Structure 1
Amino acid sequence: MAAAPSDRPVIEADVAEILANDLPWQRLHNARVLVTGASGMLPSYVCHTLLGLNDAGGAGVTVYGLVRNEAKARQVLGPIVNRPDFTLVVSDVSSFMGESLEFDHVVHGASAARPALHAADPVSTIKANLLGTFNLLDRCVATGARSFALMSSAEVYGQQPEGTTLIGENSYGGFDILNPRACYSEGKRAAETICASYAKQYDMHCTVPRFGHIYGPGMALDDGRVQADFAAAVMAGRDVTLNSAGTASRTYTYVADAVSGFFYAMLRGDSATAYNIADPAGLVSIRELANLFVAARREKGLQVRFSNPADQSAFAVQAAQGLDSSRIAALGWRPRVGLAEGIDRTLRFHEQAAEAAGR
């Protein structure tokens, strides 16, 4: 049985699916694993999965979850914070030294992913990626850690040439480095270079999974990205409103599939190598995604509306721009959860959480 709490059946089922992947899980047995940003969607699923290994077969994994906000972490992570195989570490990764702690593996997921935070606090955003990565890798070198995995982002690719459909791992475009909004993109790029530098100089095994647009349980409804906005509207029983014609297309990937891809990169991937993690079948336009969210709860009678009425008839599918996932697929990774099923799971998670809060 997976480690997810019994009052969160969607997460529990997701963890079971992740652990069903044919991976060398034994490499993590009896390991001490630090997961930074543990209250975030992707890092929290990593924590649940590692603890699920213990519940499934006594793997002896000890998980350390580093967070800045203890109250938020306790709310997001739930009962796992009280498990004997889990330790909550409250610290800012930008200043974290961890002198008294030793780890076998480090997963660096602490980063301000919300677009609003990039504008409001660009300094903290770039610090988490630069100083945080330096701090963690220095600790890895000092204690002889076996691996380091950086949760990176498709934001590193910058502006792509017109007509690009799928972005490969070497397709780097530009952006305005003097725009404070570049704090996230440049921070991730620099963090990846830091990883490659430590891999070469200290023979550290560093992998770089790059995530695109991820959705699922653990996604805050006030996140600010379209997938969160659509989920929030459906949960509130509001029509989904688009502020444009919704022609932009991206690859949307369910969180459990994304975390499976993360473990494929971590456990099977090459060091100093980046891996796009994106579901090829999730390549849809924002408009199509909105319709899928509305269709997931047809009984509510919701519609997709447009803030500018002209946009309703202005829809013309533009060239898609998603991530090419062939490199991670070559390691054996296959997404299992389609968009319709993933959206249903996402809404069920929030519905069950709302029901539990109202008891």
Structure 2
Amino acid sequence: MSDGFGGIASGDLDAVIARVAPALAELDRASIFLTGGTGFFGRWLLALLARARTTLPIDLTVTVLSRDPGGFLRASPDLAQLDCVRLIAGDVRSFAFPAGRFTHVIHAATDTSAAADRDPMTLIASITEGTRRVLDFATAAEVGRFLYVSSGAVYGRQPPDLAAIPDDHPGACDPLDPRSAYGQAKRLAEQMCAIVSARTATAAVIARAFAFVGPGLPLDGHFAIGNFIRDALDGRTIVVSGDGQPVRSYLYAADLAGWLTTLLVRGMPGTAYNVGSDQPISIADLAAAVAAEIPSSRGIAIRGLPSAGADRNRYVPSIAKARRDLGLDVWTPLDQAIRRTADAARRTG
């Protein structure tokens, strides 16, 4: 399978383009402002839009805000040097508003690193002040459509008797728990978007993102599936540090890019949609699935022991609304997603 853009396989991009072509067609002659364009989500969005320009009768431009345009140019020169992409330097909290016409904004900039979690006050400021700045820009530029990439963390801890979190779940983060800083800040940023959507001509839609896998996912961060794939590729034992009982679900990055594009143009203003897979899997079974798809692994080891009577931690969304209203779905099976992520990691070393 040949590469498309940014090291992402053209086959993946073409498959999702076929599924969301009508939504992509609505971006003909669009001028998009994208924050977070150099991250995992942003690179997939850029690759999808760039590929769509070569396979569909559409034209568009994307202005990407980056704290380090030079670094992005070095890492992904085929994306950064496209004639439809313009890089501008700046911090999301204080960037100078770019001149020109803009029709759409995708605000996907958020630091999800372990280092950010260790500095919750800075994390809160980055999320809330950055969102306020991007919303101010969208209002000043009279942008028609605005997509905010939020997080399922806004719901707080998923009740153990709730199999999947619906979009209208009233749960919330515990404000007295310092570990909830990310979710709390995302909740406040969502409210800012709702206010702007209600009071201006900018129609804001919220994407509550859960867990994902795909080429470009950091394999050395705090994402369990990334760490499992790394260990398997390195020929090591896949180690589960806990008891393996928590339950998660994973949407493939190509599907994610198609979902976000559809929400950008067709999501209902002032509304939040869960974005993810509704197919649950325990962390222990996830490790076994990775080992099965990557034969170089040396099996799995579960270090922790289950606690008697303890509630099983879950983080799984209901996607009934996105499926019903927008025709979105989990298109790529998890075993294929793992295999394609591993194949891409091998190609890039």
The alignment's TM-score, normalised by the length of structure 1, stands at 0.89
Kept after mapping to 1: 8 A contact 2:23/2:261: no
Tell me the equivalent position of 2:278: 280
**Deviation string for 1:222-272 (max 9, x for gaps)?**
221201111211121111011111101112111111221212222221001
Q: CA deviation at 1:291?
A: 0.6
Distance 1:243 1:319 in 2: 15
Amino acid at match of 2:4: A
**Deviation, structure 1 residue 173:** 2.2
Instruction: Give the partner amino acid of 1:145.
Output: V
CA positional deviation for 1:301: 4.8
Unaligned stretches of 5+ residues in structure 2: none
2:329 corresponds in structure 1 to 334
1: CA distance, partners of 2:94 / 2:133: 7
Of 240, 244, 251, the match for 1:253: 251
1:25 has 2:24 as partner: yes
Q: 1:357 corresponds to which residue?
A: none
Q: Corresponding residue for 1:38? A: 37
Q: Aligned partners of 1:177 and 1:254: how far apart in 2?
A: 32
Secondary structure in 2 aligned to 1:218?
A: coil
Aligned to 1:304: 300
Alignment of 1:1-359 (within 5 A): 4-5=4-5, 8=7, 10-22=8-20, 23-119=22-118, 121-281=119-279, 283-298=280-295, 300-308=296-304, 310=305, 318=312, 320-330=314-324, 331-354=326-349
1:291–1:192 Cα change, 3 Å: same
**Structure 1, 235-244 or 316-325: larger mean CA deviation:** 316-325
Q: In 1, Cα distance between the equivalents of 2:172 and 2:329?
A: 30
Deviation at 1:170, TM superposition (A): 1.6
Shifted more, 101-110 versus 318-327: the winner is 318-327
CA contact (8 A) 2:158 2:313 kept: no
Offset at residue 182 of structure 1 (A): 2.5
Residue identity in the other structure for 1:340: D
Q: Structure 1 residues 116, 36: CA separation in 2 closer, same or farther (over 3 Å shift)?
A: same
Partner SS, residue 125 of structure 1: helix
Alpha-carbon distance in 1 for matches of 2:251, 2:167: 17
Asked whether the equivalents of residues 96 and 132 of structure 1 are also in contact (C-alpha less than 8 Å), the reply is no
Secondary structure of 1:64's counterpart equals strand
8 Å CA contact 1:264–1:332 kept in 2: the answer is no
Name the amino acid aligned to 1:279: S
* CA shift for structure 1 position 112: 0.9
Q: Deviations over 1:148-177 (max 9, x none)?
A: 000111100002333111001121323332
CA contact (8 A) 1:146 1:204 kept: yes
Native 8 Å contact 2:173 2:184 kept in 1 = no
SS at 2:249's partner residue?
A: strand
One-letter amino acid matched to 2:348: A
Matches of 1:60 and 1:124, distance apart in 2: 38
Q: CA deviation at 1:77?
A: 2.9
Q: Write the distance in 1 (CA, Å) between the matches of 2:345 and 2:255.
A: 19
CA distance in 2, matches of 1:46, 1:3: 15
The aligned amino acid for 1:220 is P
Please give the per-residue CA displacement for 1:20-67, whole angstroms capped at 9, x wherever unaligned: 124332221111111111111111111111112211135221111212
Structure 1, 62-71 or 37-46: larger mean CA deviation:
62-71
Once residues 321 and 192 of structure 1 are traced to their aligned partners in structure 2, the CA distance between those partners, rounded to angstroms, is 20
Q: 1:268 to 1:304 in 2, by over 3 A?
A: same
Q: What percent identity do the matched residue pairs reach?
A: 25
Q: Which amino acid in 2 is paired with 1:285?
A: S
Q: Which stretch of structure 1 is more off in the superposition, 58-67 or 169-178? A: 169-178
Q: Is the 8 A contact 1:47 1:65 kept in 2?
A: no
Letter in 2 for 1:171: H
How many pairs does the alignment contain? 347
Find the residue that maps to 2:239 and give its secondary structure.
Answer: strand
Distance 1:88 1:278 in 2: 29
Q: CA RMSD in A?
A: 2.4
Q: Residues 110 and 211 from structure 1, CA distance in 2 versus in 1: closer, same or farther, beyond 3 angstroms? A: same
Moved more, 173-182 or 48-57: 173-182
State the alpha-carbon separation in 1 of the partners of residues 70 and 338 from structure 2: 27
Structure 1 residue 180: deviation in Å? 3.7
Task: Write the letter of the residue equivalent to 2:79.
Answer: I
